[in-house]
Structure 1
Amino acid sequence: MEIFKGLPSKKREYMNILFRNCTEEVKYYMSVVEIEADQTFIKAGEECKYIYIVLSGKVTGIEWPMNEKSYYFKDFGPGDFFGEIECFAGMDNYRIDILSSTKCRLLAIPCVYYMEWMHMDVDALYMRTQENMKRLVMQTAEARRYLFMEGKDRLMVHLVRKYEQKQPLPEKLELKQTRTRISEEVGISMKTLNRNIKKLEEVNLIQLNKGKIVITKSQYMIMKKELEYYVNGENVF
């Protein structure tokens, strides 16, 4: 389908196979929407009306646990679906917030027509069930690993994510976020955040400019490498 031409080749091929037998209702009612950065287009608790597919840009998932403290848990990009798992589970409301990290183009499909299609197309249903199970398994493992990370490692995860949201990757990035916002997104106290900012500055993984965090491309590459060691069980810190 022409609408998927901007996706990476493997994802474009996947979408073309998935949508080859989609219903006329899906084709008629689906629409492309464009949203600016830092816009919440799915809010936890609201009624599931649309399933969204990212065509371009990056978005971030935000959990709201029992203590109402937000948890920015993962970035997603072109080819990722949102609102679908809730529909498959028979849930009436969205479970998490989804925020645009960059300017995005999204394909919006009304849930009612999407689910009618899934009931009729066994091949499409199998493809989406397989992808959703894979995604849930990976997210559970990632969330468990994140919970056991020390504050410094959590902060590095955040800084790497923010750096990678800028495409193409810049030679240097200055975070515009306040420290209050960073502590909320990382899920650590302000005291812990300030202590770990100082640690990263001491080992030359970040610089500070009037209190703002500055990251160079070489520093980003080192942090990304360190996090790969952590994930593989070889934490060198």
Structure 2
Amino acid sequence: MRNKYLYSVLPFLKKCKRETQQQFEDYFQTAPAWLMECFQVEEMEKGQIFVRENTPIDTIYFVGRGTIKATDYRIYGITYDFMSFDCVHALGGMEIIMDLDTYMTTLETATPCTIVKIAKAKYEKWLLTDLRVLKLEAKLTGKSLLEDGRKNRAYLFLQGSDRLAMLLTERYELYAKNGILRVRGGRQGLSDTTGLCVKTINRSVKKFLEEGLISKEGNQLLVSFEQYKKLKELIAAIIDIE
């Protein structure tokens, strides 16, 4: 009955993949009706900034469809995309757990997205009165921070093409379809995510193309499963990865 109501207030879920449906069902399994009644759904285009660092928290966001990225602009004015989300996780929930009044990062849609919005006051009331969801959100927050910390420590010691190779393997594992990763965002996007300058990205792409580690279709870069395995081997020779 509860799941039936969840799908009635979030009808887009019926068209989502089963993994996403299950995540929403698990997260909101103990959500009261008064909380679900205040859900708002918004369709956002790619490239839309909907949270800005240091602005007051007024809304909690959940990604229903698509991918968003967290971006840091503080260091020398360089854009650095340091975390992405494409699963059910309360964006703004970490700040509530830490008793913070402002968002700690800038959030932007990396693809067209369906976003579920909940007023901060409503979400906070539920979070602080439901031990199950409080523990779940703390676990999800800790996991994302741990993964981000491990990735950033690895990036710290990787240079140039090795850093790009690690990014491509990570993206393949997340976004490959039918055995092929289509690299989106262009050279500037790769620069923003790795922290490398575009000139270094261009040199690394040229090197990988010459070595057969990536392919090109028009202006788009591709990574096949065989190329992914070779990139993974290249990184595994430098750092201990799973």
TM over 0.5: yes
1:200 aligned residue: 208
Matched letter for residue 69 of structure 2: T
1:49 aligned residue: 58
Return closer, same or farther for 1:156/1:28 CA change in 2, 3 Å cut-off. Answer: same
| Deviation of 1:115 (Å) | 0.5
- Correspondent of 1:222 among 217, 226, 229: 229
Which whole-Å deviations, capped at 9, do the CAs of 1:34-76 have from their partners, x for residues lacking one?
Answer: 1122222222222211111111112222223432322112332
Return closer, same or farther for 1:170/1:122 CA change in 2, 3 Å cut-off. Answer: closer
| Deviation of 1:196 (Å) | 1.9
Q: Is 1:83 the equivalent of 2:65?
A: no
The Cα RMSD (Å) is 3.3
Matched letter for residue 48 of structure 1: I
Q: Is 1:149 the equivalent of 2:174?
A: no
Q: Is 1:59 the equivalent of 2:87?
A: no
Following the alignment from structure 1 to structure 2, what is the Cα–Cα distance between the partners of residues 171 and 139?
Answer: 25
Q: Count the aligned residue pairs.
A: 233
Q: Indicate conservation of the 8 Å contact 2:20/2:64, yes or no.
A: no
2:3 aligned residue: none
| Deviation of 1:160 (Å) | 4.8
Following the alignment from structure 1 to structure 2, what is the Cα–Cα distance between the partners of residues 172 and 143?
Answer: 22
Matched letter for residue 109 of structure 2: S
| Deviation of 1:219 (Å) | 6.1
Q: Is 1:123 the equivalent of 2:149?
A: no
| Deviation of 1:197 (Å) | 2.5
| Deviation of 1:29 (Å) | 1.7
Following the alignment from structure 2 to structure 1, what is the Cα–Cα distance between the partners of residues 189 and 28?
Answer: 40
Matched letter for residue 105 of structure 2: I
| Deviation of 1:14 (Å) | 5.1
Q: Indicate conservation of the 8 Å contact 2:60/2:93, yes or no.
A: yes
1:185 aligned residue: 193
Following the alignment from structure 2 to structure 1, what is the Cα–Cα distance between the partners of residues 185 and 141?
Answer: 34
- Structure 2 gap ranges (5+): 1-5
- Structure 1 gap ranges (5+): none
TM (norm. structure 1) is: 0.79
| Deviation of 1:180 (Å) | 4.6
Say which is worse superposed, 6-15 or 81-90, in terms of deviation. 6-15
Which whole-Å deviations, capped at 9, do the CAs of 1:53-100 have from their partners, x for residues lacking one?
Answer: 111112222223432322112332131331111122122221112222
Report % sequence identity: 23
Following the alignment from structure 1 to structure 2, what is the Cα–Cα distance between the partners of residues 198 and 10?
Answer: 37
1:136 aligned residue: 145
TM (norm. structure 2) is: 0.77
